[in-house]
Chain A
Amino acid sequence: MSSASAVDLAIRCYPAWWRERYGEEVRTISGDLTADGRSPAIVTLSLLQGAVRARSRAQGMPKLYDLWSARTRVSIAAATLPWMLVAPFLLMAMGTQSLHSTKGPVYFSGSSFTMTHLQIAGAPPTPAPPLTPAGSVVPFASLAVGVLFLVTLAVLACGWTGLTGAIRRSATPHRRRVWLLAWAPGFALLADVALVVALIQVRPAGYHMTGGGPMVPIGGHPFAAHVLGTVLGVVAIGGWLASIVCVAVAAKRADIAPSDLRFGKSVSIATTTLFALMLGAYTTWGIGLYVQARQATGGNFTTVAYSHQDLWIPMVLLVTAAVVLSGFSSRAARRSWVVLSTDIL
């Protein structure tokens, strides 16, 4: 790639208003600097850093409603979409819980997070050793992650209904198309429900164990159930990802009213806050698991294990990056809203 095309590419990373105002000037001066002996790579790097700053701070952006409204909408989308991308995988990365002791597998009755009435299986069952102090924290942290997931989902559902309603009331060009795009999560959910219902209809009622041989399905259509199960997995994950893209595109294109933008800004701040709390709970969960395993080695304790606890470190890094992005974006949404409401409206 030539130095001129690298500079052009870097300039294309700036927002449109900035390119219109400074683009040609910066291209000329970058040419002067490289002709003067400055490394093209350093010039390009400086422009890329400047592009990030111009996008994140919007300093010098003309005080026009369309520009600041678009910035607010994009910031709201950028604050909420990282949660949508990462949070379901965080739940999957926790896996399922199991309890172990040196005397055998442990079961509990009572609620799943207080883990009372620990017993070792057998006839008759015998009381199991207690959880370690850190082990007692783990189920609460796990519960907190689940509750925060559901609360954030409810907040985002409110935000989504606000977005679809705002698009319906707006004078957005191609309003119907944008509204349909915003409805993508609803369509994806409907497709998932339809596939689950179909799967229930065709799956075998049970399996008959033959002596040492393969399991024989009882009734239903095993092949159709297998195909539908695969399709359901693809549609669930694909629909979720497609929904994220469609909602982002709809949010960028929709020309929505200031009151709806204010609501969206509040949703983005709430999402970031809940997301940060979720990261805190997930981090506590992982530390609790690590500490209780060390505590358990010295005494007779029941330890808590999760099927995917080895994914904790990569997930903490991924979620931290997503929370930081969400935090910067919700701050940008709040600041853009302040400019809109105080300087423009």
Chain B
Amino acid sequence: MVLTSLSGGPKHGYAVIKDIETMSGVTFGPGTLYGVLARLEEEGLVESLPSEDHRRPYRLTGAGAAVLRERLEANVKVADIGFRRLGALGA
């Protein structure tokens, strides 16, 4: 969800939390978000940008975009199968 949020352009932590809330209804706490951001930064999937105040923005890297694309395609495949099976049931 964090990668999806950052695919819309660089955002600072607060903006990511609000974006995820709007996008999926999931409420992230700051402890959860910064745990995820630290891991994604370590894996090279996101990077921080310089900032003059303490609201540092983060953006998706090329590797992050590739990983996000791969995961979304997998999700779409699962969703397609699910819809097809539901259709077969006549539901």
Q: Which residues of A contact B (CB under 8 A)?
A: 10, 18, 21-22, 24-30, 32-33, 42-43, 45-51, 53-54, 59-60
- Distance to closest chain A CB from B6 (angstroms): 15
Query: A47 to B54, alpha carbons, bound, how many Å?
Result: 17
Q: Count how many pairs of residues, one from A and one from B, have CB atoms less than 8 Å apart in the complex.
A: 67
Greatest chain B CB density within 10 A among A21, A32, A42 is at A32
Q: Is the CB of B56 within 8 A of A25?
A: yes
Q: Which of A27, A32, A46, A54 contacts B29 (CB 8 A)?
A: A46
Given contacts A27-B54, A29-B55, contact A22 B29 (CB under 8 A): no
The answer to whether residues A50 and B55 also contact, given A29-B12, A33-B14, A45-B29 and a CB cut-off of 8 A, is no
- Is residue B38 within 8 Å, beta carbon to beta carbon, of the partner chain? yes
Beyond A29-B14, A29-B55, whether A51 also contacts B39 by CB under 8 A is no
Chain B nearest CB from A221 CB (Å) reads: 62
> For residue B13, which residue of chain A has the nearest CB?
A29
Give the contacts of B11-57 with A (CB-CB under 8 A).
12-14, 17, 29-32, 34-35, 37-39, 41-42, 53-56
Extra 15 A-B pairs, beta carbons < 8 Å, given A25-B34, A59-B35, A59-B38: A22-B38, A24-B54, A25-B12, A25-B56, A26-B13, A28-B54, A29-B13, A33-B17, A42-B29, A49-B29, A50-B29, A50-B34, A51-B31, A60-B38, A60-B39
Residues of B within 8 A of A25 (CB): 12-13, 34, 54-56
Q: How far is the CA of A27 from the CA of B14 in the complex (A)?
A: 11
CB distance from A256 to the nearest CB of B (A): 26
Q: SS class of chain B's interface: helix, strand, loop or mixed? A: helix
Total residues of chain B contacting the partner, CB 8 A: 19
Closest partner residue, chain B, to A13 (CB atom):
B31
Query: Which 10 residue pairs across A and B have the least CB separation, nearest first?
Result: A46-B29, A50-B31, A60-B38, A46-B31, A28-B54, A47-B31, A29-B13, A59-B39, A24-B54, A32-B14
Q: In the complex the two chains form, is A53's CB within 8 Å of B35's CB? A: yes
A22–B32 touching, CB < 8 Å: no
**Does B31 contact A48, Cβ atoms closer than 8 Å?**
yes
Residues on B with beta carbons closer than 8 Å to the beta carbon of A59: 35, 38-39, 42
Distance of B8 from chain A, by nearest CB (Å): 18
Closest to B56 in A: A25
Task: Give chain B nearest CB distance to A24 CB in angstroms.
Answer: 4
**Using Cβ atoms and an 8 Å threshold, which residues of chain B touch A43?**
29-30
C-alpha gap A21/B31 in the complex (Å): 14
- Chain A residue, CB-CB nearest to B18: A36
Given contacts A25-B13, A29-B12, A29-B14, A54 and B30 within 8 Å (CB-CB): no
Cα–Cα distance between A43 and B30 once the two chains are bound (Å): 7
Query: Would B54 and A54 count as touching, CB distance under 8 A?
Result: no
Output the nearest chain A residue to B36 by Cβ-Cβ distance: A59
Q: Which residues of B contact A42 (CB under 8 A)?
A: 29
Question: Looking at A10, A24, A28, A43, which has the most chain B CB atoms within 10 Å of its CB?
Answer: A28
Which residues does chain B contribute within 8 Å of A33, judged by CB atoms? Answer: 14, 17, 30
Within the assembled complex, what's the spacing in Å between the Cα atoms of A136 and B30? 56
> Please, how many angstroms separate the alpha-carbon atoms of A33 and B17 in the complex?
9
Chain A to chain B contacts (Cβ below 8 Å), 17 pairs:
A10-B31, A22-B34, A22-B38, A25-B55, A26-B13, A28-B54, A29-B30, A45-B29, A49-B31, A50-B30, A50-B32, A51-B31, A53-B31, A53-B35, A54-B35, A54-B38, A60-B37
| Chain B residues, Cβ within 8 Å of A29 | 12-14, 17, 30, 55
With the chains together, A59 CA to B32 CA distance in Å?
A: 12
- In the complex, A30→B30 CA distance in Å? 7
